[in-house]
Structure 1
Amino acid sequence: MGKQGKQKNLKAKGLKGALARHQLKEKLQKVSNTPTKKANDTGRKRTNQKAFLPFGIEDEILLIGEGDFSFACSIVKSGLAYPEKLKATSYDSFSAVIEKYDGAEDNIAYLQSEGVKVSHEVDATRLCQSLKVKASKKEKKHMDSMSHNEREKLSHIVFNFPHTGKGIKDVDRNIKANQELVLSFLKSADELFQVLGVGAEGKIVITLFEGEPYSSWNVKLLAKSVGYKVKESGKFDWSLFPSYHHRRTIGMGDTTKPSIERNARTYVFENFKKENKPSKETDDSD
């Protein structure tokens, strides 16, 4: 059976749909338990690296800063989310996107054919304004009285590898500029959750490369200043998103080292107000 057939089965209701979703979960679990090899000073050893997904197939996901939209395509093609529950956005206009990134036009056409909502000129630091989401005082009062099931079902806002793309040579100024971007995004995402009535149920997901200068961004402290804490985190598993190609903010090309060869980490942040079990980070260290 082709990929399109499998995706339709995932959407199907009743026994057929349940079976398809169960098979997908088994597939992901198999990936989680696949042993991998790693060299050390005493030779080679086997380790179990747990596959980490920051969202579930039933979640309503908003993707920010999509670049060439290959991450959204990979999610859909791998059956990791229902297309109708996915919204993919770019900072650039449609014309700028297809000019900057090879294959972007085909990716966008594919997503739209599958039922994914695609939007352009969405500023990560001004989400409510960009998405034209606004609630009056009367609407806010009404949403406060609504049950969680009656509210907008947006559950995750995902921003992979945020970066200003300004190419600032001075390290300290570069770090500060990107901290300001991430902090503004966190505030904007929280505002969107509040306006939509999602409140403390919403999760903010950020993926960064490991090491410097990203460690100096202190993303956990930035989130804490906005009222969010790490619910869980884990290594970004490139193998889960086979058709995803990380692109630079300024256009095609890769960094000095191919992205897929670089370690990255995904953080899932939740609001302090949410009454939950103590937060924990996925233990995927060797």
Structure 2
Amino acid sequence: MAKRDKGTLRAALAKHRARSQQRADEKRKATVGQASKAAASVPSKKRTVMPFAPDDSVLLVGEGNFSFTLALMSPPHNHPPQQILATSYDTEAEVYEKYPDARAIITQIRAKAGLHADRILAFGVDAGALHKCEAVTGNRKDDPRRWSKVWFGFPHVGAGHKDEQRNVLANQLLLLRFLVSVAPYLTQGRAPTYVTGKTRRGSDEEDEDEDDSESQVATADDVFAEHTVWRPLLPPARQGSVLITIRNVSPYTPWNIPMLGKKLRSVFGPIAASAPPPPKGTFMPTLADLEQAGTEYVVWRSFEFDPRMWKGYSHRRTVGFVDGLSTANNEDLLRRTAPPSASKPQGRHVGTGECRTFELALR
């Protein structure tokens, strides 16, 4: 009986240990599952791209109320004023008429620019005929102006074509004219490290761009110095690029910006022939101009444009401030994260798609 009792005890103990181990395994799996669900519920930190390095010479075309220019000059970006030229298709008077907030913004820009106030803004500049603007090209053959970053934010002809195909063609023609026009004024040199993936070494060599989101910005003392001391435009010795930002939803995606850059020479003629005629007097490049400029582009990258990165920026439409459509805090650009409900109405201004920047460079 003793041996049988000992065997029964051992079996019962083994079963107890097995059940305990099973409960422990189930508890561990449940804990891991809960942790995974918790991690999934926390949104991952989105990597933001800062497209402008501190030493970039920046040309902004098609500005509306110039709030992007002011945001670029202001904290946390603090881009030096002598390294910026912001242009508008409209005259200064037309800007004030179309955008009620523009006068105060431009006053702030000129105050921040200090001794560079007369050189930071240019009006009446056609992005498709940049050769006509001395502020863009420079005023002497031995001192041409060159730009390492040229940003065209939310381009649109603003003609109101109701036919979608005509609207697409009109805006494609606008972008093609711009890509041809800007080509001669981009800086030349080695591509940035985020394109090549190679970092230059050696203490006697000029540093290239590091990761976009980690580029150093000017300090408060630097900003004061740029404001009070006149400095010339100093373009960096690297290959320049074009940045085009649009809403990444229809009817904008059919513009197909990557295709326009890659196949510019072959598509320019057909699109120019099919698009609605631009305003009278608009400069139109010839095929010979395209060949001379060597305008074929490659796409370096594309990334989401988050207007919240640019404190004070307020998007405006080409036609001006429109009651019921234009907004104060870019609600018409921001993505809707959930459908509207009675308890949390989101309003008609909230956007339904991301905004995207395409960065192109000459081949």
* TM-score for the superposition, normalised by structure 2: 0.55
CA contact (8 A) 1:55 1:156 kept: yes
SS at match of 1:48: coil
- The match for 1:259 is 333
Distance 1:50 1:187 in 2: 32
Offset of 1:260 from its aligned partner?
Answer: 3.2
- The match for 1:7 is none
- The match for 1:119 is 122
1:132–1:51 distance in 2 versus 1, CA, 3 Å: closer
Offset of 1:233 from its aligned partner?
Answer: 1.7
Distance 1:188 1:79 in 2: 31
CA contact (8 A) 1:68 1:101 kept: yes
CA contact (8 A) 2:91 2:123 kept: yes
Residue 75 (str. 1) matches residue 68 (str. 2)? no
Distance 1:59 1:198 in 2: 6
Across the aligned residues of Structure 1 and Structure 2, the Cα RMSD in angstroms comes to 2.9
Offset of 1:53 from its aligned partner?
Answer: 1.8
CA contact (8 A) 2:151 2:242 kept: yes
Q: What's the CA shift string for 1:122-176, capped at 9, x where partnerless?
A: 100001113366699x95xx78xxxxxxx74521111000000001000000000
Residue 168 (str. 1) matches residue 171 (str. 2)? no
- The match for 1:105 is 103
Q: Equivalent pairs: percent with the same residue? A: 32
- The match for 2:361 is 270
Q: Which amino acid aligns with 2:173?
A: E
Q: What's the CA shift string for 1:246-286, capped at 9, x where partnerless?
A: 111111033697223431001111111xxxxxxxxxxxxxx
Offset of 1:242 from its aligned partner?
Answer: 2.2
SS at match of 2:48: coil
CA contact (8 A) 2:59 2:85 kept: yes
Higher strand residue share = 1
Distance 2:137 2:83 in 1: 21
1:89–1:133 distance in 2 versus 1, CA, 3 Å: closer
- The match for 1:282 is none
Q: Which runs of 5+ in 2 are unaligned?
A: 1-39, 189-234, 265-294, 336-350
- The match for 1:10 is none
How many residue pairs match? The answer is: 220
1:191–1:210 distance in 2 versus 1, CA, 3 Å: same
2:63 to 62, 66, 73: 66
SS at match of 2:246: strand
1:77–1:119 distance in 2 versus 1, CA, 3 Å: same
Greater relative CO (CA pairs within 8 A, separation 6+): 2
Q: How does 1:29-44 map to 2 (within 5 A)?
A: 44=41
1:48–1:266 distance in 2 versus 1, CA, 3 Å: same
> Post-superposition, which runs of at least 4 consecutive aligned residues in structure 1 deviate over 4 A?
132-136, 197-200
* Residue range with higher mean Cα deviation, 75-84 or 112-121: 75-84
1:48–1:194 distance in 2 versus 1, CA, 3 Å: closer
Distance 1:64 1:110 in 2: 19
CA contact (8 A) 2:130 2:137 kept: no
Distance 1:165 1:50 in 2: 33
2:315 to 246, 250, 273: 246
SS at match of 1:97: helix
Distance 2:318 2:176 in 1: 18
- The match for 1:18 is none
Offset of 1:188 from its aligned partner?
Answer: 0.6
* TM-score for the superposition, normalised by structure 1: 0.69
Offset of 1:104 from its aligned partner?
Answer: 0.4
* Residue range with higher mean Cα deviation, 209-218 or 91-100: 209-218
Residue 205 (str. 1) matches residue 247 (str. 2)? no
Distance 2:159 2:93 in 1: 20
- The match for 2:170 is 177
Q: Which amino acid aligns with 2:301?
A: E
- The match for 2:46 is 49
